[in-house]
Amino acid sequence: MLPGESIPLIDGIFHITYVLNPGAAFGIFPHQSWFFILAGAAMIAAFFHYYSWLQRQCGYFHYGCVALLAGAVGNLIDRIRNGLVIDFFDFRIWPVFNIADVAIVLGVASMIYAILFKIKETDE
């Protein structure tokens, strides 16, 4: 496929569209590859630094962090290899995105759920 080319799977609803995204979500901060690479490396370092603490947290928070990291690593690999991220899921009502973006969104949603409803603070 060429950039911008689209294959309808469900016409008008779901297409596979080849998009080269030089920025972050919704194309913000385009052509800032070094910033995104450094941020991804910092995220990986922080994850492994705090991993023993994360293992003791509730599953929603722990696995949310794992999903967030997995998505960040997926996009980081694209960015290192190509200087940008390849997006392809196109629902025509939302910007085109990829599997790594889904992992990031689900991971953050799981972490928010854990913080709001699962993690109990102790008053000691």
55 residue type, one letter = Q
Helix (H, G, I), strand (E, B) or coil at 9: strand
Active-site residue flag, 87 = yes
Sheet strand arrangement including 6-10: 6-10, 14-21, 85-90
Q: Which of 11, 78, 90, 101 is catalytic?
A: 101
| Ramachandran class of 97: left when φ > 0, alpha when ψ lies in -120 to 50, beta otherwise | beta
Element (H, E) at 40: helix 33-49
Q: Which of 11, 78, 87, 90 is catalytic?
A: 87
31 residue type, one letter = H
Active-site residue flag, 11 = no
Whether 18 contacts 2, CB under 8 Å: yes
Residues taking part in catalysis: 87, 101
